[in-house]
Structure 1
């Protein structure tokens, strides 16, 4: 946990004030400081919140909603398979936009462990066919492009295959480096939304969604503004909101507007 310095704007007191609550608002931070600084203005408050975020004392989980920084950022282990795939993509297309991950990562969040896995490779729509043909014909990889349910049931999960899927614009991703090789992978918010939204691809964990979301939220820092923004681009914002309110309403009280 972060150990604040004495000069970090009453950081020790602020941590003590909010450590036992799941989240708190900008207004609550204002009220906290106003006990000793009744003349505190909004500009000073905004700068102070920025300072606390930069120092890792608080984290933003939504618009005007914060939490004490005790939860880690989700950073999955990268397999040699993903590293090799990334190298191929960067070798053939130097400026390609992509995002790749393995469904094996889902086992960190589910009660019943998946026994077979596949790689999801999201690519700009106009390059999907070129990427598919390159991986299939030139590198002899088990690869499918936007497979239907029948293909998913018959082949994909049993072959440790690669699924080439369209990359949604402004998908939240992160970079993980391995020996100077950059691998673009999804954030946890994207993994959660994709698992919820694409029932055909992620059919194996549909019965685990409530547990999966709860475990992810309790274990890692989740930015709900990012999560809902991406849900909106997938056309699933209201469905995701209703799911979260129904399944995790007590845990997220005050976060979802």
Structure 2
């Protein structure tokens, strides 16, 4: 006796040759399988397929069966120590922190000097800058690293770039060893990096294309979240143009 394929298998087989499909298309397919399907049952079925990693959302109302990895930042002891010592001065927990070392997972360029990115409320910027200036372990900068500064080449100190935290930034909080780590999502990292890149510079542009290409190929990206954040930063048109022009193989019309 041959077992009948499950609804999960049917969904996968039906959509496996498509890069993406809409919620409406999924609804039509499931209605053919079950003509009496109610809206409530359909909503439950969509959530069940997502929980089972049969489908993934790439944008509001858009899905794929080509499941990718979730992007997770590593819980570094150096960041734990930083938050433990300076979190209060930085306005913890209303902040965002990460190390640019994570970019090595997305890029083949490993020549840059890694540093901590710390985003805080505007009222906390001066306080945390002054606090870090008095330490022997960190070199603080505001907004971006100044490679011409006399202290930049001091290998014994860790650069910390302090920035203003954009309201409603996409942040994921992870609890580790008694501290809540407010990490940026991949969507936030990509938008922020685009904003700091000079697209007209061929070397920077090539590096950014490779970084975006690797991120889209390897990890789950919620493009609704990415574009909403880009819109709040006033860069929605820029990032749409970048993907459309330099990454057309990722079906820019979808995004």
TM-score of the superposed pair, with normalisation by structure 2: 0.84
- Post-superposition offset of 1:41: 4.6
SS at match of 1:71: coil
When structure 1 is superposed on structure 2, of 55-64 and 154-163 the one drifting more is 154-163
Please list, as runs of the form range in 1=range in 2, the aligned pairs for 1:62-141 lying within 5 A after superposition: 62-68=59-65, 70-92=67-89, 95-137=92-134, 141=138
- Segments of structure 2 that go 5 or more residues without pairing to the other structure are none
- Post-superposition offset of 1:42: 4.1
- Post-superposition offset of 1:45: 2.5
- Give the whole-Å Cα distance in 1 for the aligned partners of 2:72 and 2:197: 24
- Could you say what the CA RMSD is over the residues aligned between the two structures, in angstroms? 2.8
Please list, as runs of the form range in 1=range in 2, the aligned pairs for 1:6-85 lying within 5 A after superposition: 10-68=7-65, 70-85=67-82
SS at match of 2:57: strand
- The answer to whether 1:214 aligns with 2:219 is no
- Give the whole-Å Cα distance in 2 for the aligned partners of 1:185 and 1:156: 27
- The answer to whether 1:252 aligns with 2:251 is yes
Corresponding residue number in structure 2 for 1:241: 240
- Give the whole-Å Cα distance in 1 for the aligned partners of 2:97 and 2:65: 30
Partner deviation per Cα, 1:14-69 (whole Å, 9 max, x = no partner)? 12222343322112212321322345454442332133224433221101001226
- Give the whole-Å Cα distance in 2 for the aligned partners of 1:48 and 1:254: 27
TM-score of the superposed pair, with normalisation by structure 1: 0.84
Report runs of 4+ in structure 1 exceeding 4 Å deviation.
Answer: 91-95, 153-159, 203-206
Corresponding residue number in structure 2 for 1:194: 192
- Give the whole-Å Cα distance in 1 for the aligned partners of 2:210 and 2:6: 37
When structure 1 is superposed on structure 2, of 224-233 and 206-215 the one drifting more is 206-215
- Segments of structure 1 that go 5 or more residues without pairing to the other structure are 1-5
- Give the whole-Å Cα distance in 2 for the aligned partners of 1:49 and 1:247: 33
| Count of residue pairs brought into register by the alignment | 247
- Give the whole-Å Cα distance in 2 for the aligned partners of 1:186 and 1:157: 25
Residues 78/205 of structure 1: CA separation in 2 closer, same or farther (3 Å cut)? farther
- Post-superposition offset of 1:220: 0.5
SS at match of 2:129: helix
- Post-superposition offset of 1:137: 2.0
